């Protein structure tokens, strides 16, 4: 239990990859750092993540353990199970209101990550329906299978990545299907749009033939034509049926999930008459994608911009991770949804900027910031998981806006 009015040099909100990486680097510069997170243990989404990266398995739990151990050696204070409900800057310091009292610091880094977008389907309040992230946590963090046989509703990068993890963990999946068409689903319910997204992920395909075919089809703009002839039963990826011409109509059951009513759809996502059938499953994972969890930046008075390539509305920030609110910084998925590796490099960059602004680094600070910016660029370019196409271009647009407005005093 912290004492009311505790003071430190830097408060970091979020103990995920960005927050922990920033904390360790800032502590290396000699700053007193306190990290707070509402979850019961540090690590964030890394705790349930693993995937193949450059010929080896990247295991998030292992990386998180290494970051947490380093934080302990450097004297970083990590407070978990702590909620933040307010931020106010008075004179030259922030007052951060938390569930264990007020914290004060001249600088705050928001590394709050991202949240899942709800994907409503008729019957989604039944026990056994969960977000795809919840299924990931159950299987990979708590080592409990979410059910005997499940179905994923929603075709996106998050769904594909976690489907692979669940398959490796021994979870049986009947398939990955489209959500029902409607205003909330939008393009996510259309086979053509999903096929274009998957073509952008050709490097993740499980065979060289699929990877080459996807690249050729994308370069020739064949998504619409392929969508018309995509197999009705789908294709198998990691032995999971990927069904671009099948949509979930309803989730059925009395006291819990018992089945899902599915239907064939045409290339535009419209249900074909008489094509419905019931698929027996005992759990359903809804995959609506991710959006930046940025409410605290709004509370602090930071302006926002809308960038769909990065997940939606996010706080305006510079390439050095500064915001227009002096002393407020951002890093990780709050700046746009990308991989944990990018978030970690952004955290180190934010720490370098904070170190310079706090006069904690010395004469070599600008060089360190420049090197950290280059590291972010290299990590982004090499990232295996790209949540949306056009991320690099969107980033450049944000930084141009910063230069055209904030840097000239608009």
Q: What are the tens digits of pLDDT across the range 66-84?
A: 999 999 999 999 999 999 9
Cα-based distances in Å from 339 to 113, 344, 380 = 11, 9, 8
Q: What is the pLDDT of residue 60?
A: 82
Distances (CA, A) of 128 to 158, 258, 278: 20, 9, 16
- d(CA 240, CA 327) in angstroms, rounded, equals 48
Decide: 262 and 287 in contact? Cβ < 8 Å. Answer: no
Nearest-angstrom CA–CA distance, 410 and 125? 47
For residue range 167-214, list pLDDT tens digits in order: 888 899 999 999 998 877 777 878 877 777 666 555 444 444 344 344
Global pTM reads 0.88
Q: Which residues, at least 6 apart from 157, have a Cβ–Cβ distance to it below 8 Å? A: 197, 201, 289, 385, 386, 387, 388
Distances (CA, A) of 385 to 162, 382, 389: 12, 9, 11
| Residue 409 token pair | 């005093």
Residues 6 or more apart in contact with residue 312 via CB below 8 angstroms: 291, 292, 306
For 162, residues 6+ apart whose C-beta sits below 8 A from its C-beta are 132, 133, 135, 136, 152, 285, 287
What does the alpha-carbon distance between residue 13 and residue 200 come to, in Å, rounded to a whole number?
33
Q: Between vectors from CA 333 to CA 327 and to CA 334, what angle results, nearest 5°? A: 40
Portion of the chain with pLDDT greater than 90, in percent: 64
For residue 347, pLDDT over 50 is answered with yes
Q: Which residues pair with 291 in a beta bridge?
A: 115
Q: Are 260 and 279 a contacting pair, CB within 8 Å?
A: yes
CA–CA distance, 132 with 230 (Å, rounded to integer): 25
Given this model, what pLDDT does residue 53 score?
61
Q: For 164-178, write each residue's pLDDT tens digit.
A: 889 888 899 999 999
Place of tokens 């019931």: 278
Considering only CA atoms, which of 279, 92, 312 is closest in space to residue 173?
A: 279
1, pLDDT greater than 50: no
d(CA 143, CA 308): 34
The rounded distance, in Å, linking the Cα atoms of 10 and 354 is: 9
- Is it the case that residue 286 has pLDDT exceeding 90? yes
Cα Rg, the chain, nearest whole Å? 22
Phi and psi dihedrals of 51, rounded to 5? -160, 165
CA angle 313, 314, 320 (to 5 degrees): 155
pLDDT tens, residue by residue, 207-235? 443 443 444 334 444 444 444 556 667 67
| Domain 6-116+290-405 sits in CATH 3.40.50.720 | no
Enumerate the CATH 3.50.50.60 domain ranges in the chain, comma separated. 6-116+290-405, 129-286
Check if CATH label 3.50.50.60 holds for domain 129-286: yes
pLDDT at 263 over 70: yes
């Amino acid at each position: 239990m912290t004492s009311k009015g505790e003071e430190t040099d830097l408060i970091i909100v979020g103990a995920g990859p960005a927050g922990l990486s920033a904390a360790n680097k800032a502590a290396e510069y000699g700053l007193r750092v306190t990290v707070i997170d509402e979850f019961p243990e540090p690590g964030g989404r890394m705790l349930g993540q693993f995937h193949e990266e450059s010929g080896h398995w990247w295991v998030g739990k292992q990386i998180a353990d290494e970051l947490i151990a380093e934080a302990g050696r450097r004297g970083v204070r990590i407070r978990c199970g702590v909620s933040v409900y307010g931020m106010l800057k008075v004179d030259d310091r922030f007052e951060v209101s938390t569930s264990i009292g007020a914290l004060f610091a001249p600088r705050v880094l928001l590394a709050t990550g991202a949240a899942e977008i709800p994907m409503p389907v008729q019957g989604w309040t039944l026990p056994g329906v969960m977000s795809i992230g919840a299924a990931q946590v159950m299987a990979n963090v708590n080592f409990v299978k979410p059910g005997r046989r499940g179905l994923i509703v929603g075709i996106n990068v998050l769904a594909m990545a976690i489907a692979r993890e669940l398959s490796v963990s021994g979870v049986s999946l009947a398939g990955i299907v489209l959500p029902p068409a409607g205003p909330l689903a939008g393009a996510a319910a259309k086979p053509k749009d999903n096929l274009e997204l998957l073509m952008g992920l050709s490097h993740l395909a499980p065979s060289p033939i699929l990877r080459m075919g996807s690249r050729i089809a994308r370069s020739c703009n064949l998504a619409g034509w392929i969508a018309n002839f995509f197999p009705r039963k789908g294709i198998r990826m990691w032995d999971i049926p990927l069904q671009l011409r099948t949509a979930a109509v309803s989730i059925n059951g009395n006291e819990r999930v018992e089945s899902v009513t599915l239907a064939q759809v045409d290339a535009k996502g419209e249900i074909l008459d008489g094509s419905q059938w019931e698929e027996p499953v005992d759990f359903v994972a809804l995959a609506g994608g991710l959006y930046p969890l940025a409410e605290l930046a709004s509370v602090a008075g930071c302006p926002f911009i809308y960038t769909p390539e990065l997940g939606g509305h996010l706080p305006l920030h510079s390439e050095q991770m500064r915001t227009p609110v002096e002393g407020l910084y951002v890093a990780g998925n709050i700046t746009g949804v990308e991989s944990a590796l990018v978030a970690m490099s952004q955290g180190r960059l934010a720490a370098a900027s904070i170190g310079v602004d706090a006069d904690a680094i010395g004469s070599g600070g600008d060089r360190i910031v420049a090197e950290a910016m280059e590291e972010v660029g290299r990590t982004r370019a090499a990232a295996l998981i790209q949540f949306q196409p056009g991320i690099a271009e969107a980033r450049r647009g944000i930084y141009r806006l910063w230069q055209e407005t904030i840097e000239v005093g608009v």
